[in-house]
Amino acid sequence: MIPGVILAGGASSRMGRAKALLPTANEGQTFLSQLVRTLWSGGVDDVVVVVSSLSGDVERALSKESLSYRLVVNHQPERGQISSVLTALAAIDRPGVTGMLVTLVDVPLVSPETISRILAAFRTRHGPVVRPASGAKHGHPVVFGREVFDDLRRADQSVGLKSVIRAHEAAIINVPIDDPGAFIDIDDPEDYVQFIGPWPFRKSLR
């Protein structure tokens, strides 16, 4: 069993508003709702969304959608991304779980096909970390195998996930992926305009 986790607990300071609730080019979809659908379509066994007090009114927005997901709250978002990963891990770690697929709400354009390929590579090749790759670039989502769950729990908070990935560098499975969406991280309004479309709010770009 491999749950899918969406990290949506950040402050979105560079964007200026909650990324999770930004509209995508698909009518009626937000970054978060599109990702929830993508993970299910890609074949995960559960969808967990990690939010915080910085995320905006995610629960109310998602309640308007006919989506299946579990919402968990990171009460210490100031500790960085690893705190959201640990919040997710506490929610998903149970007998039968072989790994945890993790993606960012900042990467809403990843395709269901990419999810499927990453999951298939993990299930057949059993690496401790499996991720999309295109040349020297690495993208999302990333699957962490059960054997690194304790490494995640012990990770240096100042370094976060990178410390776990570096510790297993020799055994990482990089899956060649031809999906630009797996490598596009939308951090600010300029990124939004470049990859999604016109900025949908009255406030001008910085």
Whether residue 58 lies inside any domain: the answer is yes
Residue labelled with tokens 């072989």: 98
| Within-domain flag for 35 | yes
Using alpha carbons, select from 99, 139, 134, 133 the residue that is nearest to residue 119: 99
| Residue 80 falls inside a structural domain | yes
**Domain boundaries, position 13:** 4-195
Q: What is the pLDDT along the chain (206 residues), one digit of tens a residue?
A: 999 999 987 766 677 678 888 888 888 888 998 999 999 999 999 999 998 876 667 777 777 667 788 889 988 877 778 888 999 999 999 999 999 999 999 999 999 999 999 999 999 988 899 999 998 899 999 999 999 999 999 887 777 778 888 888 888 999 999 999 999 999 888 998 999 988 877 754 44
Note whether residue 162 is domain-resident. yes
Per-residue confidence (pLDDT) for residue 100, from 0 to 100: 95
What pLDDT was estimated at residue 62? 72
- Residue 91, pLDDT score: 93
The answer to the question of residue 51 being in a domain is: yes
| Domain-embedded: residue 22 | yes
- Tokens 């949908």 map to which residue? 200
Classify residue 44 as exposed, middle or buried by CB count within 10 Å of its CB (0-12, 13-18, 19+): buried
Q: Which of 80, 82, 78, 51 is nearest to 152 (CA)?
A: 82
Element (H, E) at 152: helix 149-154
pLDDT on residue 206: 47
**Predicted model pTM:** 0.89
| Planar angle of CA 107, 98, 156, nearest 5 degrees | 60
How many structural domains compose the chain? 1
The CATH number of the domain where 8 resides is what? Answer: 3.90.550.10
